[in-house]
Structure 1
């Protein structure tokens, strides 16, 4: 049966409710020194604030080796009254020490499948998606190897695959590898960060392939492209692709948290962006983007 795999167990897709489709309660990378999301109390408060704003589900895209806090996620979900989807997967190589890449790369598909079906380490928490990364416009050798492993894990489990696109680029190359070469259904692919490369023609091309398109809400990291968000969404809505659009906050630094940093944080998706989306596109569109579309994007016919 098609379900969404959360840290507290599998749910029917209709139980997700209002969803932040791409965010981070925990995240640690050498590329962001001093900005680690590693405080469980701060993560809990952020989740509670999101719930108080009407949020029901947080999809955390933090993959293997980047401090995803799997041991804390179930208690945060219970205490905040939200569903949390965790991720397996592997990021761009420069997020890791060289020895970690060398040790993990030969067994990526095996690792992904194990974390999706048996759980992450000894936590008992099962991942509910695979998060991997493309390259800048083209796929380097590392990206190709990780994407191929993700395709293998998808075929073994049914799990959806979320893609970090470097500066929003390369979505066409990712679809060529995953869908054309490796047979992953486009409806199991979520193309992330597309607002970081506000090329309407490219967005329309990849939407026509049937994948889900994920956009980030206002963020400190991508403030230069944030003003193009509504233009990008409008072009896709006008072309009939409203049913394939997702929105997330993508909070990757302590400074960007709303609860303990300078914001905007997870709640802003609902307190700031959602009212504007309703004024521009209507209530039905907002319901699709926050409820109906995530329910389809993160549901899978799980094997294992």
Structure 2
């Protein structure tokens, strides 16, 4: 299956930027091939690991990640987008150790992940704050993209932000606007966490539009949680791609429903506005491994190839449409625009 997708992939458009940053450095867009666009390696609460070291075995977790990513590669995946950012325990040196041992391209993100308040590091600093200064969130994001993350030399290639609750808290709106400004300053594309049940991808688009963002540079993530096709079409008709990116999270939306949503939208002509993924971590400390295995047995990086793609084919989705969602759309997304 994966070879048919790769063999039929179209060439990048003339004049488009031809490189994208990965953990191992810049690579040609042609090298992305089949891409999981919304995943995680480790989602952690660092204060807990640092103060309760019995809960964390570094080498064991790295080994497990190598096994999981190698299995994805064996199924046909060639690029893995790790959207773990500040607020989710991102630690790039650990990601580098995994990347050095797997035959995958790994792309990392920058951003601030919050459902309500900004981290206290930013609380008193910035425009209109106790200590008046240019927005430090935007400065941090731009540095991760242009200079690299900490002293790793790894540059972020995606901007990530989140809107989970109804409405916009001051902190979330601040992060959205800082993200939009970092995008415009660098051309780096944006991917969001959204709550599709609340239809708040529309709110994200509203803020981005107010900041002058071209919405074609935005993926509204977790859109596949809802079967409200009118809402999903509204997001795409405004210019954004949508992330059908929680396959395996059947406790949110059942497998069959998720598959049918994608098939129905492909039939309606929207294959060029969707990307596919799992939103899956190798390890997440929100629950134990045993709880995860019992509640979410299909939540892993091979689920798309094992169950989702065969189910989409059964519903009439063509190889061409699968290629579009897995290869062409990710490549087009990373054809960065110039700052504007």
Q: Is the 8 A contact 1:195 1:215 kept in 2?
A: yes
Instruction: Provide the aligned length of Structure 1 versus Structure 2.
Output: 298
Separation in 2, partners of 1:123, 1:104:
26
Larger Rg: 2
- Counting only pairs closer than 5 Å after superposition, residues 46-57 of structure 1 correspond to structure 2 as 46-57=68-79
Q: In the alignment, what sits opposite 2:153?
A: 124
- From 325, 328, 331, the equivalent of 1:295 is 331
Separation in 2, partners of 1:272, 1:29:
32
Q: In the alignment, what sits opposite 2:38?
A: 22
Q: Which moved more, 1:232-241 or 1:152-161?
A: 232-241
Q: Is the 8 A contact 1:4 1:128 kept in 2?
A: yes
Q: Is the 8 A contact 1:216 1:249 kept in 2?
A: yes
C-alpha deviation, 1:296, in angstroms: 1.1
Whether 2:123 is the aligned partner of 1:102: answer: yes
Q: What is the SS of the residue equivalent to 2:140?
A: helix
- State the TM-score, normalizing by the size of structure 2: 0.79
Whether 2:245 is the aligned partner of 1:216: answer: yes
Once the two structures are superposed, residues 113-138 of structure 1 have per-residue CA deviations (whole angstroms, 9 ceiling, x without a partner) of 00011111111111110100124343
Q: Is the 8 A contact 2:122 2:137 kept in 1?
A: no
Runs (4+) of structure 1 moved beyond 4 Å? 32-38, 93-96, 103-106
Question: CA-atom RMSD, angstroms?
Answer: 2.9
Q: What is the SS of the residue equivalent to 1:119?
A: coil
Whether 2:306 is the aligned partner of 1:271: answer: yes
Once the two structures are superposed, residues 77-101 of structure 1 have per-residue CA deviations (whole angstroms, 9 ceiling, x without a partner) of 33211101101001114698x5345
Q: In the alignment, what sits opposite 1:92?
A: 114
Whether 2:232 is the aligned partner of 1:203: answer: yes
Separation in 2, partners of 1:36, 1:104:
33
Q: What is the SS of the residue equivalent to 1:80?
A: coil
Q: What is the SS of the residue equivalent to 1:138?
A: coil
Distance change in 2, residues 1:107/1:222 (3 Å): farther
Q: In the alignment, what sits opposite 1:286?
A: 322
Q: In the alignment, what sits opposite 1:158?
A: 187
Q: Is the 8 A contact 2:122 2:136 kept in 1?
A: no
Separation in 2, partners of 1:37, 1:130:
29
Distance change in 2, residues 1:100/1:266 (3 Å): farther
Distance change in 2, residues 1:274/1:149 (3 Å): same
Q: Is the 8 A contact 2:259 2:311 kept in 1?
A: no
Separation in 2, partners of 1:36, 1:138:
36
Q: What is the SS of the residue equivalent to 2:192?
A: strand
Q: Which moved more, 1:74-83 or 1:284-293?
A: 74-83
Once the two structures are superposed, residues 229-280 of structure 1 have per-residue CA deviations (whole angstroms, 9 ceiling, x without a partner) of 123213322321110110111114554989xx95431111122212222332
Segments of 5+ residues of structure 1 without an aligned counterpart are none
Q: In the alignment, what sits opposite 1:67?
A: 89
C-alpha deviation, 1:225, in angstroms: 4.6
Distance change in 2, residues 1:220/1:37 (3 Å): farther
Q: Which moved more, 1:219-228 or 1:277-286?
A: 219-228
Q: Which moved more, 1:192-201 or 1:66-75?
A: 66-75
Separation in 2, partners of 1:145, 1:203:
25
- Counting only pairs closer than 5 Å after superposition, residues 115-194 of structure 1 correspond to structure 2 as 115-168=144-197, 169-179=199-209, 181-194=210-223
Once the two structures are superposed, residues 139-189 of structure 1 have per-residue CA deviations (whole angstroms, 9 ceiling, x without a partner) of 22222111110111011111010010035530111111102x111111110
Segments of 5+ residues of structure 2 without an aligned counterpart are 1-16, 127-134
